[in-house]
Structure 1
Amino acid sequence: MIFLAADPLTVARRYAADPAGWPVAPRFDPAGRWYARLAADPGHEVWLLTWLPGQQTDLHDHGGSSGAFLVVSGALTEQTVSGGRLRPAVLSAGAGRRFGARHVHLVANRGDQPAVSLHVYRPALRRMTRYRLDGGRLLVAEVAEAGVAW
């Protein structure tokens, strides 16, 4: 099931509406976030992620890809950098977020229930840069490549 639409959040919502059509069922891994690519074509890809309480990403970008993510169940906290500080926003089930090619964020399950999310990237992810915030400045910590790091 691949949905071509101008808006990646619309694509995520369409996938969320049909979990029976997902090629894999969500799993939860106490060792770390679980993820699986649900679909890909030259224009975009769709990923399913699960989050147990306390699991989170590093501060990262999407290597020039734009996209969106949608919280399918549970709640996630997205932190973005503004004024040299991390600013949190809680997204509950049904809430989504579009982002541009230069978006840097950290996503975490700060709640007490597991969470499931769908992520759409255009074009498909080829690299991600991980950052650290030092004295209000973003510093590159690592560049991860598709096929190597995930």
Structure 2
Amino acid sequence: MPVTAATRLDHLAVARRFAEAPQTWVTPPRFDPDRRWYHRLAVTDDYEVWLLTWLPGQQTELHDHGGSAGAFHVFSGTLTEDTVSGPATTPRVVSRDLGEGAGRRFGTHHLHRIVNRGADPAISVHVYGPALTSMTRYRLGPAGLETLTVDRAGAQW
């Protein structure tokens, strides 16, 4: 799947390009009732592309992307993104629903959670640049935002 210089750094354009060509995916989407399923579709010097599936109720924890920017595109279904902003002691959470065909870019300091709050399965394509090396997971506790773990690529996923 060719990616031009004009789209190379537009992570959402890359995600959309992959979503528009499911016949090129190296593996078909699968749905796992016990946990979200994911598979890396491509990796380049500039970015990597992941395919994720979401059954109703499946979600990520609050997390960042270890300094990588990126985007995600909803291939099918509806996903809700809960974005965290503000100071760690008094964080603010804003939710937005993204239906089929919708997408979202994010920068290097983005903190969010993605949830399938709908009744139908969902599929999404995610692009990160540079490729993920770590992800920090958080929770909202009594003192505000608390770090849970730092997961490393190649070790935890």
Structure 2 length as normaliser, TM-score?
A: 0.92
Q: Is the 8 A contact 2:9 2:46 kept in 1?
A: no
Secondary structure, counterpart of 2:29 in structure 1: coil
How far did residue 138 of structure 1 move? 1.6
Aligned to 1:3: 3
Residue 121 (structure 2) pairs with residue 118 (structure 1): no
Amino acid at match of 1:105: H
Does 2:129 correspond to 1:147?
no
In structure 1, the residue matched to 2:35 is: 32
Runs of 5+ unmatched residues, structure 1: none
How many pairs were matched up?
150
Q: Which amino acid in structure 1 is aligned with residue 3 of structure 2?
A: F
Residues 1-150 of structure 1 mapped to structure 2, 5 A cutoff = 1=1, 3-4=3-4, 5-83=8-86, 84-135=91-142, 137-150=144-157
The residue identity in structure 1 corresponding to 2:137 is R
Residue type at the aligned position of 1:6: L
Instruction: Give me the CA root mean square deviation.
Output: 1.2
Q: Which runs of 4+ in 1 moved over 4 A?
A: none
Paired with 1:133 and 1:115, the residues of 2 have a C-alpha distance of 26
Give the share of equivalent positions with the same residue, in percent: 59
Q: Which runs of 5+ in 2 are unaligned?
A: none
TM-score, normalised to structure 1, is 0.96
